[in-house]
Amino acid sequence: MPEYELDNTPEINGLYSEPEEERPNNDLFDFLDDGNLAEMVTTTQTTKVLEYYRDAIASMERWKRKYKRAINLSKMQATAGDVEIEKKSFPFEGASVVMMPYILEAQLDFIGRAAPELVWQPKIAAAKISGKNDDAKEARAERVSKYVNYQLTESIPSWRKNQDKGLMSLPCTGTFYKKTYYDSDRGDARSDLKLADAVIFDMGYDSFEEAPDKFERVKFKRNEVITFIRGEQKWLMDESDLEEDKESFEFIEAYSWLDLDDDGLKEPYLLIISEELQRCVYAVPSYDEDTIQINDDDEVVDVAAVDVYTQYQFLPDPEGGPMGMGWGILLGPMFDAINTNIRQLIDAGTIANTASNSGFINTGIMGSSSSRGNRVDSGPVEMVMGQFTKLQVGGSGTLAQNIVQPPFAGPNPTLFQLASFLIDSARSMTNAAVNVEANAGEAASLYMARLQQGYKVPNMIIMRTYDGMKSEMKKIGVINHKYFDDDLYQKVLDEDSAASMEADFNPGDCDVALVADPSQGSDLERISRATTLLEEAKTQPQQILNLREIYLQWLGALKVIDIEKIAPEPDPNAVDPNQQLMLAQQQMDAEFRNRDQKLRENEQRLKEQKLALEAAREMSKLGLNAEEQEAKIAKLYAETLQIVTNAGIASGENAIQAVQLIEDQFIGDAIDSRAVTVPENDSGSSGHMAQSPGNEGLPGIGPMA
């Protein structure tokens, strides 16, 4: 598939489209429009394809036997060879055919982990746009994601149901397929489930993708075949070829390589072959214009097939084979041994419980000609469990001597211990019984490390499944690009914009990926991880971690619905209460600093006033410029009073006391070295002009005299 660079494609109404190119003059391009090409397929070519088909079946025989055994183990169906058995007659009639459910337990354990992530999420797929991100690409990714999720949940028939079935079978058989293609009748993509034995290919290749030919046996009803003959497909067969007494007919669907244009290079085709008629009845190209490479002379250089199959694997084959391995295939012999031991223990218990009522009793008469002492009546005797079989034998004796009971010791303890060991080993291998508990006083980080270690194996398997789903999603995206329907696209999106489905699903820069991220592990792991991170964020000394985002992740791990309503996006214009409180605190601190500064300035001025007052009074006592000094004292008095008032040191009755104190200082009365109590102000609070020894007088300036 060619890649288109987003920045080099022409822009139309804000959207991007591919450049139109003239179709080369080559037969392969004409084949794309010619409909059914079955008439061009020769008998020799058909025979060759059928030989490939039989060879592929032969290569899968050994794997098929393991596959059937795995299925029977999953269904808990007892078998003898390939034959299913409902009851046994050995070692006695009605012997146990019990099957232990450990394969089924492993399947339920796996699907319980995988299905919520990969099937039942509200949003299964999302679009990943390559290159630098911007608003236009974000909008495009949202459109692609919305449409693909509509297809998976609504449009593609039974996608979720089929995916659930496939994930259920995967731990047992190790493989299943999804066949993704465009359904021309419905005008939309399809993605059908194919179980592991449905797709046939040559297992001699290292991988499923490398195998050139892939086959299926398909069954159609009589009416469907007649529609194919009469309708647009125009199958190359007559209605008289259909047997009258049959209502369904099998055909071989082959994705194989033929050279129909006789240029020496084979091309991929989809063929429908009637094995009964030895004839190809339908053939169409399995390539398209984008998968053909030509040179300047319009000669085909290479042709790639449009891949319709996606193989899901549980575990890779240890031998490097192309099929995935499940627990039913890998551990089949172990589970057979477990079932055999359990049956033997049950049978031994049954025999032990019925032994007291089983055996032989002699009913013969001495000298009777019908007794078993006679050679004529000699031979084996069958004992029936739960009853005494009557025999006529010669001899005499007591009743006890004429009753024979087989000795039964009951179930073997060693066999029971062996069965327990095998069961524990199997469950440990399949991780069906994994349970990691936190220890008392254990650090959260240490518990998380042990938890992640315990779940590494199942998480690794889910990651492999996740990769298979990504491949399937990409195929759906390519189909949407090639067979776009803008009317349906815009209807699903419910938008008025002229969004182009072809441009949005351009495979050159659109990667349809899954929303689920199984690398994050199970629900228990995610919740533990989110809780640990949240506790750390709450106690962080610095605001390094985004607490709101961590809360959102924690709610998501708990699978809380309507998270947007519980934790809505904060209003960017709203004032943060914490920030508002911080600003108010800053304003108060600034006001206190300003007031403290003013008080310090007033204190300094009062100290200067005090010195000037003392100097003026000394000069007045000495009679030096007495009138001038008294005037100066009066001026200093007024200034001091103004300083005290402006500084807010006193108001109301407090001001009166402050004035009296100042007058006393100026008049020269002595001031006691004790605190001057200021009466209560209007607010009901009281204040003290605190004085201490060596610091009497007005607050902060010492004694005035």
Per residue in 451-496, pLDDT (tens digit) is 554 556 667 788 889 899 999 999 999 999 999 999 899 899 887 6
Q: Judge whether residue 1 has pLDDT over 50.
A: no
Helix extents (H) in 485-625: 486-493, 501-504, 523-538, 547-557, 563-566, 577-621
Q: For residue 549, give Cα distances in angstroms to 526, 545, 570.
A: 15, 9, 12
Long-range contact list for 284-289, CB < 8 A, 24+ apart? 284/35, 284/36, 284/37, 285/28, 285/31, 285/32, 285/37, 286/255, 287/28, 288/32, 288/482, 289/23, 289/29, 289/32
Per-residue pLDDT averaged across 677-701, rounded? Answer: 41
| pLDDT level of residue 514 (50, 70, 90 thresholds) | confident
**Residue 322 confidence class, pLDDT cut points 50, 70, 90:** very high
Residues 26-59: tens digit of each pLDDT: 789 999 999 999 999 999 999 999 999 999 999 9
The length of the chain is: 705
Contact (CB, 8 A) for 208 and 309: yes
Q: At what angle do helices 413-430 and 332-354 cross, to 10 degrees?
A: 150
Least confident of 32-41, 358-367, 413-422: 358-367
Q: Which of 512, 510, 502 is nearest to 472 (CA)?
A: 512
pLDDT for residue 531: 75
More confident residue, 654 or 220: 220
Query: d(Cα 437, Cα 58) in Å, to the nearest integer?
Result: 49
> Are the CB atoms for 14 and 304 separated by under 8 Å?
no
Confidence check: pLDDT of 10 > 70: no
State mean pLDDT over 165-177: 95
Q: ∠ CA(629), CA(634), CA(639), 5° rounding?
A: 120
How far is CA 220 from each of CA 35, 145, 427, rounded to the nearest angstrom?
20, 35, 42
Classify residue 395 by burial, with Cβ atoms within 10 Å: 0-12, 13-18, 19+.
exposed
Q: Are the C-beta atoms of residues 295 and 6 closer than 8 Å to each other?
A: no
pLDDT of residue 511: 83
The rounded percent of the chain whose pLDDT value lies above 70 is 74
The beta strands (E) that lie in 453-501 are given as: none
State residue 676 phi and psi, 5-degree precision: -95, 115
How confident is the model at residue 7, as a pLDDT?
Answer: 35
Cα 657–chain centre separation? 81
How does residue 670 score in pLDDT terms, banded at 50, 70 and 90?
very low
300 CB contacts (<8 Å, ≥6 apart)? 26, 28, 261, 263, 265, 267, 292, 293, 294
Residue 389's nearest CA partner among 370, 406, 377 is: 406
pLDDT at 216 over 80: yes
Q: What average pLDDT does the segment 358-379 reach?
A: 59
182 sits in which H/E element? strand 175-183
What pLDDT sits at residue 478?
93
| Gap between the Cα atoms of 468 and 312, Å rounded | 5
pLDDT digits (tens, 9 = 90+) for 275-295: 999 999 999 999 999 899 998
Helix (H) or strand (E) holding 176: strand 175-183
Phi, psi angles (nearest 5°) of residue 455: -105, 10
What is the C-alpha separation between 303 and 290, in angstroms, rounded?
A: 9
pLDDT band at 449 (very low <50, low <70, confident <90, very high): low
- Phi-psi bin for 359: left (phi > 0), alpha (psi -120 to 50), beta? left
According to DSSP, residue 352 is labeled H
DSSP 8-state assignment for residue 407: -
From CA 375, how far away is CA 166, in angstroms rounded? 65
Instruction: Tell me the β-bridge partners of 37.
Output: none
For 289, the token pair is 């214009």
Q: Where are the alpha helices (DSSP H) in 410-455?
A: 413-430, 444-454
What SS3 string covers 220-284? EEHHHHHHHHHCCCCCCCCHHHCCCCCCEEEEEEEEEEECCCCCCCCEEEEEEEECCCCEEEEEE
**Burial grade of 571 (CB within 10 A; 0-12, 13-18, 19 or more):** exposed
User: Does residue 353 carry a pLDDT above 50?
Assistant: yes
pTM, rounded to two decimals = 0.69
- Phi, psi (degrees; rounded to nearest 5) at 625: 50, 55
State the amino acid at position 363 in one-letter form.
T
558 exposed, middle or buried (CB, 10 Å; 0-12, 13-18, 19+)?
middle
pLDDT value at 219 more than 80: yes
Mean pLDDT, the chain, integer: 79
Mapping DSSP onto H, E and C, the string for 68-117 reads HHHHHHHHCCCEECCEECCCECCCCCCECCCCCCHHHHHHHHHHHHHHHH
DSSP per-residue codes, 651-698:
-THHHHHHHHHHHHHHHT----SSPEEEPP-TTS--EEE--BTTB-SB
Alpha-carbon distance of 269 to 256, in angstroms, equals: 6
Q: What is the C-alpha to C-alpha distance for residues 621 and 626, in angstroms, rounded to an integer?
A: 8
